[in-house]
Structure 1
Amino acid sequence: MRSLSVVLVAMVMSWCTHAWAIDDPELEYFTITTPHFYVHYHSGIEDLAWRVAVISEEAHQIFAPLLEWEPARRTHVNVLDKLDIANGSATVYARNTMNIYGMPPESDSVLGFYDDWLRVLVYHEYVHILHLDTIGGASPYINFVIGKQSNPNQTAPRWFIEGFATYHESKRTRGGRVSGSTWKMWARTAALEGTLLDLGGVAGSPTQWPGGNSAYLYGSLFFDYVFDRHGEDFGNQFNRIYGSRLIPWSLNQTSEEISGETLESMWNQFTAVTQARAQATRQRVRAEGESEIRSITRRAGSHGFARLRPGHSISFYHFDLESSPAYSQLAEGKITELFEIPGGPGTGDWTPDGKNFVFSQSNVIKNTYSYQDLFMWRSATRTTHRLTHGERARDPAVSPDGRWLVYARNKNGTMELVLRELNRVSRAERVLVSDADWQQIAGPRFSPDSKSVVFSRWMLDSGQRDLWIVPVDAGAPRQLTDDFALDLDPVYESPSSILFSSDRTGIFNIYRLNLESLEVEKLTNVVNGVMQPLRDESGQLWVTHYTSEGYDLGVIDEVRSAPGPSVYDELPVIKYPDIDTSGFTTTDYNPLPELLPLVFIPEFGLITTGSAFGGVLAGYDPVGHHTWSLSGALTTGRELTDQGYNFAAQYSYSRLPVDFAVQARHRLYPNQRGFFAASDFQTFLEEDYVLRGQIGIPFRGIFDNLRLGLSLQAQYVTFDGLPDVEPDPGDIQPSIPESQWQNQAGLSVNYTNVERYPRSVSSEKGFSLGLNLSLQNPFIGSDVQSMTVSYNANAYLPNPWIPRHVLALNYAGGHVSSASGRTGQYTLGGALPQDVLTSVIFQEPAGGRVLRGYPPAHVRGPNFQLLTASYRFPILDMDEGFGTLPVYFRQFKGSVFADTGTAYQGFLADQDLFSSVGAEVILNTTFAYYLAGNLRLGYAYGLSDGGIHDLYLLFGGGF
């Protein structure tokens, strides 16, 4: 039976995916209870969790009256510090929950403009809670029965949801993306270069830069325009109306009811205003004398962090959206790749001899944590050597004399500056700048004499990011700049001056700071933005400059010095609420009160053999340590006879270094194919009892991942109501089913190092292997003996001459045997007919073992082998939506393929192989703003006996 419950169960599990992840069993968990929140956290981050609790109550005091909504219950907040990623999330499905990660944004991040990064993050996520939790109309009554599943505002497009929260994060703090120079640079450049997205184009996940950030960028700036025009109450009215409608997607109608204007008409006006502002900025810059930039790289993505490599010219980091992130080198006008660095942020430095490169890269620790560590790449051997172990280190710099290594180290939300001897990294460290009150440190660089380090530093008490300097031998750090601008990327130009980038005019430019007088000179004047300065040995000024396709490496040949601006146009000071923490309490985390049922998913439908109805009851605790579900269904035959039932329970636990789950099932159903007598199949009632336990053992890595799975299942099968049939003369003596144990042990092994990039049309590089083995044997108490084994291998080879073209090789095989009765069969052939519309709605993709160019189930047997070779290529990056319609086309791509295989009994060498050739065109689509998949139109021709002209249209399938 196929029904809506399939989608709903998947949604339940998608909102608690962390429940299926392993954990560090040494961690303890606690809860801070405040008037409006439960803040859950693990040991070691108590101070961070307390700050989150205080800021969450701030957010409630500000946004609950502002958005005119009060949640019915406390919101759960999970404070996590297991990843070196600046991020957060929020959901109102089942219960209101926020996830807050304890890693601050990098200084050059789009999130880097803030007076307090944690406040911006918490405010953003709590706006999501209040927005999505705004529910009216019939939904509260529906949710009373089925749990909190009907949340109409959650059906709004992503640009609306993220834009609304990003707007408010900016307007209610002294920072945020809307107020930042990076956001303005991205929008201004797109306007000047003619790449602004229309309303339909931002409804999906565009392939063009800035990709996934488009929803945040365009959504927040659009709301800034709309609220300036109609007032912020426009948003509240919209959320109340839209949140009361069961039928989604009435965006224009809702907007017109409030303002008399559709969202589409306002988007066009917003675009015109953005273009006019961009043109005005360009005219102003050109009137002042615009700096000319000579581009070195010209590919979409991120290119930058230029470093001098003694004796070899310039190296830099690149991530061009079509290949793995890597470090490359420019020498004699030619760019060559040095080594790939998946999981690396980009910064690094060369040793003085130019032979070794020190960089930071994410590293998996205890299979649970993903932290950055320092590594050294040796050019002589082209190998990488690890320098630190679990230090959460980033932004390394090597002293010019080759003795010292300095880097920033994260300590649960605050940072310190650490010095070590380069050749004795494992020995004692020296902390140059201790982990002061929630400070952030970035971009340390040594002076030419190796006696001091300059760096960028954000301080909580000032809310500013300024330049500082500290001696290597002894002494306190000294502040060099003091303003609300973002002062970044310091690097010594000479012993008495440093270059740095700053947005003190509202546009990122390059400046020079005199270390004696502290006077600032402006060296560039650009329209878009330049950063990350570097003087090479010939005196050229290298920069990273922004275009509408991302960040490129460039050179400014003519530098004209001008006095630096003396005053930065600061944002108004904001007075945040004072929070009384006297009522806050801290207790051990107790999941039991939160394990009551959260959702009920009814299930009903008609099937070819009768009818069925039932449901699923599910719950999980807020941290995700425990997940459970109970399901039941009653079935009938065509005429309400042959009644049966199916009851099941499942539980998973994630406090172990392995995944663990257990399931139990009891089923009674009419077996219509298990008893052949009197020249026909006789229906009888079969009953089974199943208890299954399984564990997953992951071995996580940055480059590759291995997972082992073990399962043991006890199953007892019995029968009731066997028909008393008198065999016809000449009939084969019927085989009478008997009650028996059908216990089963399973093993799975899966490995992958497959890579896929932002603009890929397919998995593009690497390989994967899989093996699944299932055994029934008396050794485990089974009355039957059987073995089933399946295996697969997939390899992806990028075309070295044509980007984004891929040769994919996919092999699968299987064998099933039984010493206790009938043996199972594999079938190969063309895809079964599919109702494409229904499959799109219920997200039921086509799949299985398909040998195209033949009728379905053309060959069958207890063994099968199938090999497919396909050449995949892009046809058109569409990035095309249709206003507010919930339809989006992302990519149009193609494939030519050849299949060969067979299903058989006996030996493969004695079999005839069935082969076919064909082609497919694939439209990568998103429906209802979030339901993504592939529409596939294909033709295949079978080259062997029984081959047909096979024209098919399907939804889904791997590509």
Structure 2
Amino acid sequence: MALRLILALALFCLPGLALAAGAYDPSVEYRTVETPHFFVVHAVGYEAIAIRAGELGERILPRLTRRFDYELSGRVTIVIDDQTDVANGSATILPSKTVTLLITPPTEVSGLEDYDDWLESILIHELTHVVHLDMVYGLPWLGRQIFGKYVALNSYTPAWVTEGLAVYSETVDTGAGRGRSSYVDMVLRMAVLDDEFPTIDRGFRSYSSWPFSNVAYFVGGRFQQYLAARFGEEALAHYHRAYAATPVPFITWLASTIAFDATLESLWGDFEDETRRDAEATLASVRSSSVAVTEAKRLTWVGGDLLGPRITPDGKWVVFSTLSPVDGARVRKIPFDPTATAQPSSEVLVDDTFSKAFSFTRDGKAFYFQQTEINQRYYAHNSILRYDLSTEESERVHVTSDDLERFLAPSGSLRARDPDVSADGKRLVFVQTLNATNRLVLAWLESDGVTLHPEVIVPASADVQLSNPRFSPDGRFIAASRFLGGRRDIVIFDLAGNLVEQVTRDRAQDVDPTFSPDGRWLLFASDRTGIYNLYAFDRETRRAHQLTNVIGGAYQPSISPDSGYVVFRGYSSDGFDVYTMPFRPENAPAIPLTKSPTVALDRTTKRRPSLSSDLAPPPPVADLTRPRPLPDGFSVRSYSALDTLLPFRDNWNLFPLIATNEREIYGQLSHFGRDPLDQHAYALWVTYGTGTQFVGGGATYSNDQLEPTFTLGASASARTFSLFDDAGEFIDYYDEKSLAAAFSVGLPLLARHYLSIGYSFEDRSPFNVPVADQLARAVRLPADGRFARVSLGYTYNDTRGFARSISPERGYSLGLGLSGLSKGLGSDYEQIVASGEARGYLSLPYSPKWLKNHVIAARLSMSLGGGPDLAERFRLGGVAGSSILSTTTTNFQPLRGLRTASLDGTALLAGTIEYRAPILWVERGLGTFPAVVRVLHLALFADAGRVFESLDPKSIADDPLGPLAMSVGAELRATVLLWHNLQIAGRLGFAKVVKTPHPTIDASGLFFELGTPF
């Protein structure tokens, strides 16, 4: 009956609410454009983009080959991904050379805004990664022949090396890039002027202080530009080749001495000195300018990023969004009083949202903003929401059924951003993303404020990117920032989408237009002096005025309703904050707005390095939404995972692992493969132990072509148990052989739920058995025989953590597992095993700053078995543990202060509560040595638990606390980044048992362990 119940539950959970665990939507058909050096994988409808990516790749790769004197073998796979509205990319050589391009171009506030051609820029960056990571010479080349792509010395470097080199390439091979960006200039300038310049050991991706992971890109990229300028590009390439030939990873001094005759640490210091000289020269220039240095009042101290400050219609508040290392993405408001001397306190309006634009209704009772949402689990697209200040609730705007086909993306999202509502509250303008381009949409609003009747007024056009549209106060015009042909300019449209005026037309980055309340002035931000400042264009006199002269940067102006003040997004070495100053545009100096001639692509460089003379322009951007002829040597066919899945197709890998314990030396060789769309994946391994003298191995295969994930596996292994007698004395080792096979189906539900169902069979048999009298003295022998079970698992996870978190800080997770052993399934046993675990995290409300990121964490675990054969038992005790969150049953839970697994029974109940507090953020290492101490933190804990031999209510009621074990203690923890990529936590603790059912199992005292309990 119990088994039938489990099977019934399993079948009930199978219907099609579930979604696949793969990264790509299985309902989408993918095709491949094959070129001489690339497989370009793309969804149907993106063929034109894929062809252009192939053309660009064929032009870029020979240049990289010449620069680094290294030629790739085989083809590189390029995946065209339009499932997100975030601009990014990735590259790997393991298991095969794959580049993923997130083709949505970056917005003007991202730090990626300076580019000539987004597809070209990101492809240069990612292909540089592939060439750099794949380099191998000398002894490592011999290792590559055996162990495959695991032997890639340039993979074992700090992030600033790999990302900085890619930024170098995107800069010298285009007229823009982060190496020429005024935004990046600003970040480095303010850091060095405030003595906050990052040291070489801080160039890793998870750096928790501003500018976060961009240290690797911004500072690493400029450092390698400095090396190329000082020693020559060939010396820079020589360094990377020399490191790729070093037989021992993580040793940089040898390669740097060969290439530069100096260590990287000393050269980094020289680079900082040069950056300081440049910054001080810029500072002197700002101070000597005819425009007075701006003295703006700072209103916030975020310590991270901040976007979209907007003054409310009544002039009493400023609303903005922040990305803080302390509490993540939030929409906040502060009171607006330019004359106040005290720092205003902020109020959180919306959690987990980082919107670049806000627009208020005329009465000020609501505002519109954008939010990136997970749509149908595969997509992360933008939606526009309306926040009601009285109800404190958000509602997504939507179109009617008549407009679904024209405006709704396959993800179910509008893919809309940058909303602005007209002064009369009747219309909403926004930018809608479409196939690597975007278009301007004007919508009539119904009285509910969320139902739209949209019309496209500026259609999508190749190489055109629109952002930040703003209505004029009279509602007749819309100003926007438009990227076209390498230029980002301010333009004005009428309500029919006709171009009324080009306010600017030059190579400067002109962004963030907004009108003054009377409509006379059009404000915008521009880097035309090399520093982002605010400007005001007088629509009456047709003259522009420079409003600010800052040392950092000024962006996103918003004018108070009385036109007395302007607030803006300002920059310091801490990051971005809200600033304000009086608005007096008529008193600001006038500046010329010289319009450059119209060109197809402007590659004019604003700073060194100069553009290479032999750099060919990218292929022209055609209409990417329409089919185009195939170039010679190109072909198109259906996607096939066999292009890259199997071994020996330039994706061979073999990973060796050696481990030891008190009994034996254990070795393993493993190989894995997967295709670029993650539709297929497999792993193979072989093992050997010197103690058991057993040769084992196994294989797994998973398939994500359909909605669920199907996994099949088989293995042969040996495990060793220590036998003890009644007195706790060690007798001998007991070896057990396991032959196992399993099949499972994983079903993600929405974004946070996961359901699994599976069947497994295992045949356990003893070998290398001790003599009979030793077995007779043993307290308990492991169960052997056949174990056949069906299992169900469910997990939910809604936890949150931030850059400065030492632990998850908000939310909870839940895991439930149920499995049944049955003779009807082929088992020798009949048993039902149920397990569950819940975890909860609560960050303390912090008024004093020293309480930031302090967390109360709690866990409750339960496991029980029932049935005639209690083959599975549960153990309690020790300082390490495992979790039900993998949706499998578990038979061990920790309880600090007890001997490991010293209590066992047929059921278990355990709980933990911890107070976790950061002590010191260090984030320092020794130069390029592959170890960085990130943070020291403290945990005070209380553990409790008990095991049961019987769940008889009477016996439990008679002595409910008798078998209970409890301990209290403290741990000093350190989070360390090893080998540049592996983050681990070590803990030195003291536990004191305050209650135990058996004094002999009390192991109170000091302990050290890697990893955290949960």
Whether TM-score is above 0.5 comes out as yes
Q: SS of the residue aligned with 1:217? A: helix
Q: Which amino acid is the alignment partner of residue 800 of structure 1?
A: P
User: 1:22·1:655 contact (CA, 8 Å) conserved in 2?
Assistant: no
Q: 2:672 maps to which residue?
A: 618
Q: Tell me which residue corresponds to 1:320.
A: 324
Deviations 1:906-949 (A, max 9, x none): 35552432222222221211122222111212122222244454
Quote the Cα distance in structure 1 between the aligned partners of 2:446 and 2:151: 60
Matches within 5 A, 1:648-797: 648-666=698-716, 689-701=739-751, 705-715=752-762, 740=786, 742-778=787-823, 780-797=825-842
Alignment check: 8 A CA contact 1:500 1:533 kept? yes
- Mapped pair 1:931 → 2:986: no
Q: Deviations over 1:87-119 (max 9, x none)?
A: 111112332211111221111110011111221
CA drift at 1:854: 2.9
Deviation at 1:685, TM superposition (A): 9.1
SS at the partner of 2:186? Answer: helix
> Which residue is 2:305 aligned to?
302
Note closer, same or farther for the CA distance 1:927–1:565 as it changes in structure 2 (3 Å cut). farther
Query: Post-superposition shift, 1:520?
Result: 1.6
The Cα shift of 1:667 comes to: 5.5
Q: CA offsets, 1:372-414, max 9 Å, x none? A: 1111112222222121341211111111110001110111100
SS in 1 for 2:1012: coil
What is the one-letter code of the residue matched to 2:932?
A: Y
- Confirm or deny that 1:416 pairs with 2:416: no
Q: Distance in 1 between matches of 2:777 and 2:164?
A: 73
Q: Determine whether 1:162 maps to 2:163.
A: yes
Cα distance in 2 for residues equivalent to 1:208 and 1:227: 28
Aligned to 1:70: 71
Residues 498-577 of structure 1: pairs in structure 2 closer than 5 A = 498-515=522-539, 518-538=542-562, 539-557=564-582, 559=584, 560-566=587-593, 570-571=605-606, 575-576=615-616
Shift of 1:476: 4.2
Deviations 1:509-560 (A, max 9, x none): 0001133554221111111111111110231011111011110001123755
Return closer, same or farther for 1:573/1:512 CA change in 2, 3 Å cut-off: farther
* Cα contact 1:201–1:882 (8 A) shared by 2: no
Alpha-carbon distance, 1:259 to partner: 2.2
Alignment partner of 2:966 out of 885, 895, 915: 915
Which amino acid in 1 is paired with 2:875? Y
The 1:226/1:601 distance shift into structure 2, 3 A limit, reads closer
CA 1:856–1:451 in 2, change beyond 3 Å: closer, same or farther? Answer: same
**Deviation larger for 649-658 or 947-956:** 947-956
Matches within 5 A, 1:341-380: 341-380=351-390
Query: Structure 2 counterpart of 1:488, which letter?
Result: V
> Does residue 583 of the first structure (1) align with residue 633 of the second (2)?
yes
Give the match for residue 391 of structure 1: 414
**SS across alignment from 2:237:** helix
Query: What SS does structure 2 have at the residue aligned with 1:63?
Result: helix
CA distance in 1, matches of 2:976, 2:717: 39
Given that residues 19 and 623 in structure 1 are in contact (C-alpha distance below 8 angstroms), is that contact kept between their aligned partners in structure 2?
Answer: no
Instruction: Please tell me whether residue 869 in structure 1 is matched to residue 913 in structure 2.
Output: yes
C-alpha distance in 2, partners of 1:830/1:316?
45
Which secondary structure does the structure 2 equivalent of 1:746 belong to? strand
CA distance in 2, matches of 1:283, 1:629: 61
Structure 1 residues 731 and 419, CA, compared in 2 at 3 Å: closer, same or farther?
Answer: closer
1:293 equivalent to 2:293? Answer no
Count, aligned residues: 915
| Contact preservation (8 Å) 1:830, 1:857 | no
Query: Which of 880, 883, 887 pairs up with 2:927?
Result: 883
**1:624-675 C-alpha deviation (Å, 9 max, x unpaired):** 211112223345656xxxx544342211112222222111235688999899
1:808-847 alignment, distance < 5 Å: 808-820=857-869, 822-830=871-879
Matched, 1:800 2:824: no
Superposition deviation, residue 955 in structure 1: 2.1
Residue deviations 1:398-441 (CA, integer Å, cap 9, x gap): 11110001110111100000111122765542111100113111
Offset from partner CA, 1:325-356 (integer Å, 9 cap, x none)? 22222236544425224254332211111112
Query: What is the CA distance between 1:367 and its match in structure 2?
Result: 2.2
1:491 to 514, 517, 524: 514
Q: What is the TM-score when the length of structure 1 is the normalising length? A: 0.89
Moved more, 394-403 or 295-304: 295-304
Matched to 2:306, the amino acid is H
State the 1:601 CA deviation: 3.0
The structure-2 alpha-carbon separation of the partners of 1:558 and 1:776, relative to structure 1 and needing over 3 Å to count, comes to same
> In 2 relative to 1, CA 54–753 (structure 1 residues): closer, same or farther, beyond 3 Å?
same
The answer (yes or no) to whether the contact 1:892–1:923 under 8 Å persists in 2 is yes
Aligned to 1:218: 219
Could you tell me how far 1:492 is from its partner in structure 2?
A: 0.4
Q: Percent identity?
A: 28
Seen in structure 2, the aligned counterparts of structure 1 residues 261 and 904 have a Cα distance that, compared at 3 Å, is same
Aligned to 1:339: 349
Q: 1:769: how far off? A: 1.4
Written as runs of structure 1 = structure 2, the 5 A alignment for 1:191-206 is 191-203=192-204, 205-206=206-207
Q: 2:423 aligns with which of 375, 393, 400?
A: 400
Please say if residues 742 and 759 of structure 2, whose CA atoms lie closer than 8 Å, have aligned partners that are also in contact.
yes
Conserved 8 A contact 2:82-2:104 = yes
| 1:724 CA drift (Å) | 11
- Is 2:1009 aligned against 1:954? yes
Alignment partner, residue 4 of structure 1? none
* Amino acid across the alignment from 2:685: S
Distance 2:873 2:538 in 1: 80
Residue 474 of structure 2 is aligned to residue 429 of structure 1: no
- Which moves more between the two structures, 411-420 or 666-675? 666-675
Q: How big is the shift at 1:727?
A: 13
Bigger CA drift: 814-823 or 369-378?
814-823
Instruction: Look up the equivalent residue of 2:616 and give its one-letter code.
Output: Y
What amino acid maps onto 1:543 in structure 2? F
CA 492–824 in structure 1, closer or farther in 2 if over 3 Å, else same: same
SS state of the match for residue 533, structure 1? strand
> By how many angstroms is 1:683 displaced?
9.8
CA contact (8 A) 1:22 1:656 kept: no
Q: 2:13 maps to what in 1? A: none
Number of the residue aligned with 1:857: 901
Indicate conservation of the 8 Å contact 1:132/1:154, yes or no. Answer: yes
Shift of 1:157: 1.2
- Of 894, 898, 901, the match for 2:942: 898
SS of 2:654 mapped into structure 1: strand
2:681 to 616, 619, 627: 627
Task: Give me the whole-angstrom Cα distance separating, in 2, the residues matched to 1:477 and 1:558.
Answer: 26
**Partners in 1 of 2:211 and 2:925 — Cα distance?**
17
Q: Which amino acid aligns with 1:659?
A: T
> What do residues 435-479 of structure 1 show as CA deviations (whole Å, max 9, x unaligned)?
0113111101101011211110111xx210111111114634542
What TM-score, normalized by structure 2, do the two folds share? 0.85
Secondary structure of the 1:275 match is helix
Secondary structure, aligned partner of 1:429? strand
Distance 1:632 1:27 in 2: 37
Alpha-carbon contact 1:349-1:398 (below 8 Å) kept: yes
Task: Give the whole-Å Cα distance in 1 for the aligned partners of 2:125 and 2:895.
Answer: 49
- Distance verdict in 2 for CA 1:610–1:404, change over 3 Å: same
Q: Residues 179 and 799 from structure 1, CA distance in 2 versus in 1: closer, same or farther, beyond 3 angstroms? A: same
Stretch deviating more after TM superposition (509-518 or 431-440):
509-518
